[in-house]
Structure 1
Amino acid sequence: MDIKKWKTQYPFLDDVWDLFQDFDRTVIEDDYYVGYEEKCRFILEGKNDHLDVCMKLLRNLWLITDDPYEHISENVRCTYLNTWLYYQEKNNFPGDIINKIFHIVENIAHDSLDEPYICEYDPSYKNHIEPEQMMKLNNLIDNMDIIEEILLDNNDENHCLCQKYVHECGGIYRNMNKKYCDNEEDKTIKYNVLCEELQTFKNKYVELSSEYPDIRNKLPSLDFSNNTYITGCLYTEKKRISYLDDNSAFNQVFRNLPLIVGGMMGTSVILLILYKFTPIGSLIRSRMGKNKAMDDTLYEEMNEFGSSSYQYENMNLDDMEYNMTYHPVRNSQFAYNIG
């Protein structure tokens, strides 16, 4: 799990990412380090393999049981702990040791606390398909209060990222539901656990959208893909939006037109200077002296063109490019596909 990446993509869920970082914090910093180490050495039968993860799990379980967290309930913390455990099991942390640790913490809690919260081990995470995608869906449901607050405030610094996240979750649900739960056999047999979780997500999502009418228009449909642009967030991606394809021949011409015109003006001025003030100009005029009428006409035309060219000398080429290429299109609507 790349917590740093997720903190960048979804900073409004910082309480969740801080919790995962706490789960992974080294136990040596804790006051009960000695007690955790003794119990884990007993569980591991004196072996050092998995000692670090064992102490972390023991510590994390006990904190959920006995230490309230300001922003996240025990149920949600337990769910996230099982998610964290999934990644530890991927690194070969044995399931039988996990069961022993949960059992020991439960016994200690019942012996020492009046009404302890018991976090139960959920081995179904081992069988999860696309667990990180499911985690995104669950995070949305578990943190809907935070998401509602952000979506209600158009000036919130995370407003657009939050809208993008909600649309991303809508796409995740639709894609996974179509991929794994599209027929009755997959839905009830092959992927029954996943499909039940997706249905649970949908039920909660529908309930939440009805509970928060002020943000309902910002919550995408789960039944079909609606190519809806995100209000007020068109420019947050910091990408240049063009009415024309960058590779189109028409756009190529307009992109290069200022250079062409600038080159033509520069060439005309240089030719005029050469013609009037250099030996080359004298040579040209002497040869053209055979036809005085032609010489006079050409001289007048070049003077006229030269004088008209000087009006561009103080013009910034960047301004010229803007004036020549920017043509606002009225009555158009941008569509921003988040999928």
Structure 2
Amino acid sequence: MNSLNSKTSDIFYNKLDKWFIQHGDKDKCNDLDRELKYHDGVYEFCFSLIGNLKKFDELPSLHSFDKYRCRYFNIWIYEKLKKLFPNIKDPKYTTMQTKIISFWNSYKQDKECNWDFPSYIINNNQYDKMKDLYDYALNYEMLKLDIENNNYPCTHEISNYIEKSIQLYNEIKRECAVTVEHKKYCAALNEIKDIYGNEQLTKLKCSKVLSSEEATTQVEEILERRLDGVQFREVDTHYGIQATDEHSRDTGLVNQQVTTSFSDSTDAMTVVLPLVGILLTFFVLYKFTPIASRLRSLLLKRKVIEGKMNENSPHELLENIFDSVETNVPRDHHTVGYHPVLNV
């Protein structure tokens, strides 16, 4: 899938697959694997599940929806169960569900997040609406950033997704306004309204819709124009840092250049902080757009970045739910390697 079509919710669920997989329990997962006759995917899911339960408080941030992390965690579990055992009447499904609850009670004893995924089976139609609503709310912030702040075009896939999500939101809002029956998607609507209000999620609209290829090309052009408007030049920090910001070339405004020299840490901060802010801005563009190679080439031409970023660089500051983990799962009879696909 073109990364312009990537959604925050998909990225989060993928992170749960591998975020704390190295903290799984080898003995318990081997026992479960044998009990389910080495059913494909069970061992890996077991490791992910136990690792996430152990490290629940350290799971990727959901920002505005962090207090509803438990909801998304239950959704992740149910989605994994459906993929592992499409037939809920399969005895293995019942065994797996029972084991999940057992693991949950063993590793998640503080009760701040309770298992709720078995209830999703009762009315799968309610579940689908609830999940789609939660996912759209989680995806909204990044979609709005791309469309309204960055002026990026939408792909046809994203445009259709937004239209269907708004249609679902309005449908649920009308239904929940008159029903007295407790429905999970009505509870989801109320939680979302606490964050975004009654109408905000219905206002999102693509200004331009293109094919994935055309959208990618246009985003490249937008980023190139932005890079053309800003230049950096590094000098020895013993003597100072010089940054040149060229503004409004087409309008003929006079270029402005600010040179700051410093000899102590206080003076250094006044120069370094704005520079770091700009670098972080370009990192966001690098990290969350599908044109990493193009952006890297442009940055190298301007000698913005030289060498390899270390583990304590600004890279870590922006990872949050969007960074990736590569690790291996220990296993008696075979080993599975995880190779992350970055959202670029």
Larger radius of gyration: 1
Q: Which fold has the larger relative contact order, with Cα–Cα distance below 8 Å and residues 6 or more apart in sequence?
A: 2
TM-score per shorter chain, which class?
Answer: 0.3 to 0.5
* TM-score scaled by length of structure 2: 0.44
* TM-score scaled by length of structure 1: 0.44
Question: Greater share of strand residues, 1 or 2?
Answer: 2
Question: Greater share of helix residues, 1 or 2?
Answer: 1
